[in-house]
Amino acid sequence: MPKPFAQSNIRRLLTLWNLSNWNRTMIGICLMIAIASFASRCVALDDAAEREARLVDVRDGLSRTVRDTEQKANFLDTMPTTRDLVNAGVAKFVLEQDTSVAEALILKAFKTQEMNSGSLRYGLVPWQVGHPEIVDSNAIEFSTQGIGPLWVEFGSKLSPEFKESMLTHIKAAFEALRKHDIPVSYTNMFLMKAVNLILMGEAVKDAAAASDGYALLDQWMEYTKVCGIHEFDSPTYYGVDLNSLNMGYRYAASPEERVKFKAALDFFWTEIAVNVLPKREQLVGAHSRDYDFVRGTGGLDAYLFVEGLRRDHTTERLDLEKTYLLLNGDDRGYHPSTEIRKLASIPERVVRQRWDTAPEKDRYSYITPYFSVGGANGTYGPQDKVTAIDYASPKALPSVSIVTDSTDQPYGKNRFNDKQGHPKPVHVASNPTIIQEKGVQLVLLDIDASKSTPSESLATNVLLPLEVDSLQIGGEGIDPANPSSRPISLETLTTIREGTAGTVIRILRMDACGTEVPSIQIRTDKTGLKSGAARLTIYHHKGQMTPLKEAHIKVAILFVTAVCADDATLAKIVDKVKNAVYEEKIGPTTWEASVKLDTILLEAGKDLSRRATLYRKVNGHDITPPPVLEINGVDKTGLLGAMKVPSNK
């Protein structure tokens, strides 16, 4: 396991402690220098040997997953997905294992491909062998993702029989890929389709397929220069994006096109690095799609580990997509520069981003050495994390976040099948409008209960980390070991202190369904306790299973987070939040709200009929649409190259 800190620095520090003639001040200064050196080590991974040491852990974890996949492939009742079969086959080449078994795994997946050229489904590959109920059109991208890299990297090791068989499958796959209409805003799948066409086209000398892929890459680049990364800051799908872009950078035949891949990767990694919180060492703030409602972990974390932005990562079991992480691992692959990685250590950052064609759909993050606060304006989907507060703590704490839920289990542990038959965590859309000035955040939710299924409850939950230094609800603590529930009033404040950061939460408004009276509870249950989370729960409905008709349930919450070294400082923040003035004006189709906290005034207006943001203001000034990426006022759009006319076809 690689050591996160340089041994030479440790030896110097120990030497200083043994020099009795040095005064405490000098020792303190040296300690600060050593700590700074330690911290910089995490963002200056220029030693290829250290990266390789981390990749050894990835290899070990991937080897275990490949072995399990091989075993499952022999039993019909546990058949892997077609993408896992292909990725396991490619992984065996990467891991220098039996290539005949590797080819058999890949062919097992492609034996399921529709090869009748007269069929409307010609070229398509099912998601999983033996499970026709899962109909996912993305299967053609996932099942072909490894073929181009395999052909280019290991072509000399492929048997003639395998190549001959796969050529017919690749030809059919080109047809299916071309027919699969993916919007450019669907970031991970659009990029995967583009790179698959490029690499397979170049591998088998099909210039038309490669040209189609390069045209898609250009389309995505021009769209992103205007709208930003639509599938923004996802701890799951940024890993998928990097898989595709890294393979394009490494294996694309044209040097000119590799420059485009490098530009895209520089942009992604700039956005990633600047949104990493020290000590927590993961992507923080709002996410478009987050399958870990509690902590926001995902496949990107392995990339952060390998590239030096995480000191540790669990590699006991890895998904088979980490094959592409290994393929990218050596000096021929793309690795973010030291300059980019050092963005993660900027002491104080305001990061503003765009993520859609609609100008009001933006993302704001405030990151300090002690905490981060971030939110995204507008709804993305059923796995979005609209706001999040995280602490620079090694405890792996849950984020302070909002989950609107109709199951009374807001932790994302329950899974529901989507349209393609995949089980995923979901929550009710909250249609947020968020106004933020650094650590002060006003969140306005407009919940449509009429679109949810009949339920015994509908609640807005604020998830809270239990294992912090202090968690108080109205001045009372919470039992971190036993399930409990107690009612609280609208005036009750929630306070959190962790290290040198403190947060105060005040609920400003809450609506109920119909004639019910809304209620607030502070709750812990078995699932939450297992995850280290409590919840501040606003029940809009709780009772009989019934269809809900209310289309506009309004919720307003104020979050204030600041440097807070002790309880006395936290008490001062509590006084400010308690004295904050909240005002609102509700019309037939509009909702206007403002909060005045000390010298900060946050204001917003919502058009309820269109679920659109009318305006947002900070201290009387309109919040203007940001560039696609702005760091402390510096526009980073230029990383993607010169502007052309975008297309969203």
* Bridge partners for 487 per DSSP: 521
The amino acid that residue 272 corresponds to is I
User: What average pLDDT does the chain have?
Assistant: 91
- The pLDDT assigned to 602 comes to 98
* Segment 249-272, tens digit of pLDDT: 999 999 999 999 999 999 999 999
292 Cβ contact partners less than 8 Å away, ≥ 6 residues apart: 235, 298, 412
Q: What is the pLDDT of residue 77?
A: 57
pLDDT at 133: 78
Burial class, 389, CB count within 10 angstroms (exposed 0-12 / middle 13-18 / buried 19+): buried
42-342: CATH architecture: Alpha/alpha barrel (1.50)
Q: What is the pLDDT of residues 53-112, one digit of tens each?
A: 999 999 999 999 999 998 888 765 568 899 999 999 999 999 999 999 999 999 999 999
Q: What is 360-577's CATH number, 2.70.98, 2.30.30, 3.30.750, 1.10.3470?
A: 2.70.98
Of the pLDDT bands very low, low, confident and very high (cuts 50, 70, 90), residue 642 is: low
Q: Does the CA dihedral 182-185-190-194 come out positive or negative? A: positive
pLDDT in tens, 138-182: 999 999 999 999 999 999 999 999 999 999 999 999 999 999 999
Q: In degrees, to the nearest 5, what angle opens at C-alpha 88 toward C-alphas 86 and 93?
A: 100
The domain spans of the chain are: 7-40, 42-342, 360-577
**Angstrom distance (rounded) from CA 62 to CA 65:** 5
pLDDT at 620: 98
pLDDT of 3 over the 70 cut: no
pLDDT band at residue 44 under the 50/70/90 scheme: very low
Cα distance between residue 493 and residue 505, in whole Å: 6
Is 360-577 in the same CATH topology as 42-342? no
pLDDT per residue over 110-128, tens digit each? 999 999 999 999 999 999 9
Instruction: Report whether 407 contacts 454 (CB < 8 A).
Output: no
